[in-house]
């Protein structure tokens, strides 16, 4: 590995990860190496205390899904970052927009219906309360802003020189029939703008990056 490669940490979904996939970006390894990755975790979840003792409740999941849920519940992205201190950190809002979070015991976890929805996880915990920005954006945004501020503070303490990027992707939905594309629309545009707007005063000039961007 070249000593000149930029080390990248990604806390996000495929809209961020796929920038670092040779299928889509053939020569990215000439400039970047991804050394820390957290899949499908909401920013709200990553700022919360860990939830332990869930291994038996997700045992039916495949290895990838089980790792995704365990990493989300252990909140280990920030603890790993304190050790690895990558110079570029990329976030996106997919998990917050698509999944939201669940209040469980004394913490919050990503309400990842793709993963925990296929397990006994929610059946074995009582009193779970789910929150999605699509249900109540006014209630969600203050929690999101506070969580983002907490996450950024920890990253800044670990590496004051880190470039922190909020990848402002948008969710889309298409219907494809025999005749080709029959309908396409942008979903949650206002919602994405609301969550993206939460970066102002949290990242702002300190990130050294413009409002909308991907990795060069």
pLDDT the model gives residue 172: 53
The string of pLDDT tens digits covering residues 48-66 is 999 988 887 787 888 888 8
Cα–Cα distance, 84 to 100 (Å, whole number)? 28
CA-to-CA separations, 10 to 21, 86, 168, 169, 215, in angstroms, rounded = 13, 10, 14, 14, 11
Q: Is the pTM of this model over 0.85?
A: no
In this structure, of 6-10, 139-143, 208-212, the range with the lowest mean pLDDT score is 208-212
pLDDT the model gives residue 81: 96
- Helix, strand, coil proportions of the chain in percent (round to 5)? 40, 25, 35
What is the rounded average pLDDT of the residues 63-79?
Answer: 91
The string of pLDDT tens digits covering residues 158-189 is 999 999 988 876 655 554 454 444 444 434 33
Residue indicated by tokens 């909401």:
42
Neighbours of 31 (CB within 10 A): 14
């Amino acid at each position: 590995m070249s000593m000149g490669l930029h080390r990248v940490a990604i806390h996000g979904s495929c809209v961020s990860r796929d920038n670092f996939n040779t299928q889509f970006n053939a020569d990215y390894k000439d400039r970047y190496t991804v050394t820390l990755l957290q899949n499908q975790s909401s920013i709200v979840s990553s700022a919360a205390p860990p939830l332990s003792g869930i291994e038996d409740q997700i045992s039916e999941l495949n290895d990838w899904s089980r790792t995704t849920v365990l990493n989300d519940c252990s909140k280990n992205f920030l603890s790993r970052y304190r050790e690895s201190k990558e110079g570029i950190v990329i976030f996106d809002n997919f998990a917050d927009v698509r999944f939201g979070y669940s209040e469980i015991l004394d913490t919050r976890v990503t309400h990842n219906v793709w993963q925990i929805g296929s397990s006994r996880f929610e059946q074995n915990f009582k009193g779970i309360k789910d929150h999605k920005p699509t249900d109540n954006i006014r209630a969600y945004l203050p929690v999101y802003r506070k969580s983002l501020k907490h996450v950024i503070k920890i990253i800044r303490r670990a590496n004051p020189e880190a470039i922190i990027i909020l990848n402002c992707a948008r969710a889309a939905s298409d219907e494809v029939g025999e005749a080709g594309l029959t309908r396409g629309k942008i979903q949650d545009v206002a919602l994405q703008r609301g969550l993206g707007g939460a970066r102002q005063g949290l990242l702002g000039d300190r990130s050294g990056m413009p409002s909308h961007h991907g990795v060069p």
